[in-house]
Amino acid sequence: MIRVGVVDTSFARVDMGRAAEEEIKRLTTKLKVVRRTVPGIKDLAVECKVLIEREGCEACMALGMPGRDEKDKLSALVASYGIMMAQLMTGKHILEVFVHEEEAESEAELVELCRMRAKEHARNLVRMLLHPEDMLRLAGTGQREGFPDVGSAKKLR
């Protein structure tokens, strides 16, 4: 079985890691999920790197929920930058699954958005590892994780 890491945070207000894990298990029996929880989004990158290098994970999902303030946006930038560096240092994909609090207008919407985005990225992870040819077919098709897809732009007839 191919091992994949799913790392989320205690800061987030929705259990995004569980949504991701459930979807991976629903889609395939070929991946084994390794779960970790860290305090905040800036702790995700190193945890993913450790899962790849010491736990043999082939890819990871890094799930988190940046806050609304200006300083939260800078935190998200640094967290995101760390996930980028962890990918380049390991040569493995780490899908960043962030939901900004202000993307949803109510708590109920937030729960739904977090779960949907986590699940759709779980599907991306499964595709990338097991069916990379399916990714090619989606090139330029305007996929949106957690929201309705926008589709390809139409050219003038």
Which residues, 83 to 122, sit near a copy of itself by CB under 8 A? 83-89, 91-93, 95-96, 100, 107-108, 110-112, 114, 121
* 136: contact with a copy of itself by CB under 8 A: yes
Separation between Cα atoms, residue 62 and residue 96, nearest integer Å:
5
Closer to a copy of itself by CB, 26 or 55: give it: 55
Check residue 73 for interaction with a copy of itself (CB under 8 A): yes
148 is an interface residue for a copy of itself by CB under 8 A: no
The answer to whether 95 and 60 are in contact (CB under 8 A) is yes
The 3-state DSSP class for residue 87 equals helix
Q: How far is the CB of 29 from a copy of itself (least distance, A)?
A: 23
Number of residues forming the site for a copy of itself (CB under 8 A): 78
Instruction: Choose, by CB under 8 A, the member of 30, 55, 56, 77 that binds a copy of itself.
Output: 77
DSSP letter for each residue of 40-74: SGGGHHHHHHHHHHHS--SEEEEEE---SSHHHHH
Amino acid identity, residue 93?
H
- 100: helix, strand or coil: coil
Q: Does 57 bind a copy of itself (CB under 8 A)?
A: no
Can residue 138 be called a binding residue for a copy of itself (CB under 8 A)?
yes
